[in-house]
């Protein structure tokens, strides 16, 4: 039975046509609207590092000049939405946790800003998070928040960040993800 199953899977995979995207030069897509937004529409920076959707449905863009919220029509800088100034640094990563809190990882000199229920919390060297670009923030399945960047890998324990890169090559952590087994996977530059 095992060889029949393998043979059937092999035959099905050989008969399957490869998937291809529509050629925009020869294919007319109907039933769709195409809209693009540029600096004239309120995007202050041409560099967009991160994109996330909050729990209400707004899109947030992390740009070279800070964070913007997009409602489907216009872009609004976050200082227009709350009594918090846009950071002097770029916003390199945006993560929305399960509780709806928005976490913004900043470019040089680094740091993390959290917006939760209308309150703002900043993390930096005083809270154990070293200086340097924050490239990625994830929430583990157990609720632990992890940050990776030029400083390596850190996790939040209470109100303090702790170094957590034992076993990783030294250097920058470019990206983090949580796999199906609840393990945090780090992509490093080393």
Stretch 93-109: mean pLDDT: 94
What pLDDT digit, counting tens, does each position of 162-187 carry?
999 787 777 888 888 888 766 778 77
| Structural domain includes residue 1 | no
Helices and strands (H and E) in the chain: how many: 1, 14
Q: Residue 96: its pLDDT value, please?
A: 95
Flag whether pLDDT at 12 surpasses 70. Answer: no
**Which of helix, strand or coil describes residue 32?**
coil
| Structural domain includes residue 22 | no
Please work out, in degrees rounded to the nearest 5, the angle formed at the alpha carbon of residue 139 by the alpha carbons of 45 and 121. Answer: 60
The runs of H, that is alpha helices, within the chain are 2-15
Highest mean pLDDT among 3-7, 16-20, 61-65: 61-65
| Structural domain includes residue 145 | yes
What pLDDT digit, counting tens, does each position of 125-145 carry?
999 999 999 999 999 988 999
CA 139/CA 121 separation, integer angstroms = 17
| Structural domain includes residue 184 | yes
Flag whether pLDDT at 59 surpasses 90. Answer: yes
Flag whether pLDDT at 52 surpasses 90. Answer: yes
| Structural domain includes residue 140 | yes
- Do residues 124 and 108 lie in contact, with contact meaning Cβ atoms separated by under 8 Å? no
Please tell me which residue, 25 or 4, carries the higher pLDDT value: 25
| Structural domain includes residue 93 | yes
Domain that includes residue 151, residue range = 29-188
Nearest to 112 by CA among 152, 173, 73, 156: 156
Residue 60: CATH number of its domain: 2.130.10.10
Q: Residue 111: its pLDDT value, please?
A: 94
pTM for the predicted model, two decimal places: 0.78
**Which of helix, strand or coil describes residue 48?**
strand
CA 134/CA 87 separation, integer angstroms = 14
Nearest to 72 by CA among 55, 44, 53: 53
Report the chain's mean pLDDT, rounded to a whole number. Answer: 81
Number of domains in the chain: 1
Other Cβ atoms closer than 10 A to 29: 8
| Structural domain includes residue 19 | no
Q: Residue 99: its pLDDT value, please?
A: 94
- Do residues 46 and 40 lie in contact, with contact meaning Cβ atoms separated by under 8 Å? no
């Amino acid at each position: 039975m095992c060889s029949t199953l393998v043979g059937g899977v092999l035959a099905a995979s050989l008969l399957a046509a490869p998937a291809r995207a529509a050629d925009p030069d020869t294919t007319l897509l109907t039933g769709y609207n195409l809209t693009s937004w540029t600096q004239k529409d309120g995007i202050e920076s041409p560099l967009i590092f991160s994109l996330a959707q909050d729990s209400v449905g707004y899109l947030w863009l992390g740009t070279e000049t800070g964070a913007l919220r997009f409602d489907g029509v216009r872009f609004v800088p976050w200082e227009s939405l709350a009594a918090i100034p846009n950071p002097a640094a770029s916003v390199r990563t945006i993560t929305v946790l399960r509780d709806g809190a928005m976490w913004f990882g900043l470019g040089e000199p680094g740091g993390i800003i959290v917006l939760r229920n209308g309150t703002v919390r900043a993390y930096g060297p005083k809270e154990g998070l070293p200086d340097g670009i924050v490239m990625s923030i994830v929430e583990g399945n157990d609720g632990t928040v992890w940050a990776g960047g030029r400083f390596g890998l850190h996790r939040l324990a209470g109100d303090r960040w702790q170094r957590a890169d034992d076993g990783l090559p030294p250097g920058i952590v470019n990206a983090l993800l949580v796999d199906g087994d609840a393990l945090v996977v780090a992509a490093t530059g080393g």
